[in-house]
Amino acid sequence: MRYTLSTVIVLLGFAINSRAQTIVDYQHRIDIINSNIYKTFYNKKAGLYFETNNAADNKGNYSFLWPLCALVQAANEQEEADPSKQYIAPVLRAINKYYSARPPAPAYQAMVARKKVDSRFYDDNEWVAIALMDAYDRTQQKQYLDISKMIYKFLLTGHDQVGGGGFYWQEGKTKSKNTCSNGPAILVALHLYKATGQKAYLDTAIATYNWTKQHLLSAQDGIYYDAIRVPEMKVDSAYYTYNSGTMLQSAVLLYNATHEKKYLDDAQDLARSAEKYFYKDGKLPGGYWFNAVMLRGYLELYNIDYNKTSLQFIIDDANRIWTQERDEHNLLGTKKVKTLIDQAAMLEIYTRLMNADF
């Protein structure tokens, strides 16, 4: 079919106007969610956040670290959209209240440190480092790099050769090596390699990628299992979207770092398999933040192949959530009690989609 020049101009104008309206819609959602977080989930005096909007469920405690891992990443995306604002600062001040200097290496623990000595999870720390390295790439602020290097040193205390390599999930618990601790470890190492050029980081990333792919990639479904028990090497066959997300993003970033096509092939195969497995009946599984992490991988791949159709299902699901899973207070989630992590996840998703170069 041939188009006249005037028709092309009309179609182009329509596309531009449509994208402009989409950005306005995303910004509207972002403003509402951000306002709700600081109105409902934030104690300004303490500089800390609540896990839910229900005091009985919170049991007098502030949030676990995990929701803040989601919020600090969303804050980085917001600053990318509007660098004149400081969205990261209040979240990072809160995260610093989870800091624990105890041996063998400093890191962040699961609960506010003044409350109690608590467990430290390798994945929680990795999510913080990933967000801060994204911020470092954007701003070159040294504190973000310094914290990420500290976290990397902590991660190394959770690595050994039981089962041939890999990172444990929780400090002191040596029975489980999870995709959720190995996929993000690859990303932390690759970010640090990009920032410093030190080959040891790249070596860690490649070794961890190879180990995770060997032991946790499902030959049947083409996506990643949740964990493997060591030393017996028994797989936990559960699937979660974020595990495929981190490994998808890792494959793309390894391709960028090495220019070896096998990593891009891995990424494209995984992207097709994850959509096929997870997107059923017009929706993704519950767990907004898991899906936010998966979106990161698809956007990383989009930056290589510019194939927007490969992530249209995530866009459609995000729009469905705003329409179907929002209460009268504009809080998001399918349950009566709303959570900080759900608000932070959707804040990240809408901001990333607004920032994307579609």
Number of C-beta neighbours around residue 234 at 10 A? 10
pLDDT(4) > 90? no
Residue 33, phi then psi, degrees to nearest 5: -65, -45
Q: Note the pLDDT tens digit of each residue in 102-136.
A: 999 999 999 999 988 999 999 999 999 999 999 99
Tokens standing for residue 86: 């400081």
Residue 11 has a pLDDT of: 47
The pTM assigned to this predicted structure is 0.94
Instruction: Spell out the domain ranges in the chain.
Output: 5-355
| Domain 5-355 falls under CATH 1.50.10.20 | yes
Looking from the CA of 86 toward its CB, the CA atoms found within 13 Å total: 6
65 vs 289: CA distance, rounded Å: 14
70 vs 76: CA distance, rounded Å: 10
Q: Note the pLDDT tens digit of each residue in 245-301.
A: 999 999 999 999 999 999 999 999 999 999 999 999 999 998 999 999 999 999 999
Q: Note the pLDDT tens digit of each residue in 303-342.
A: 999 999 999 999 999 999 999 999 999 999 999 999 999 9
Residue 17 has a pLDDT of: 72
Residues contacting 11, CB < 8 A, separation 6+: 3
- Mean pLDDT of the region 146-150: 98
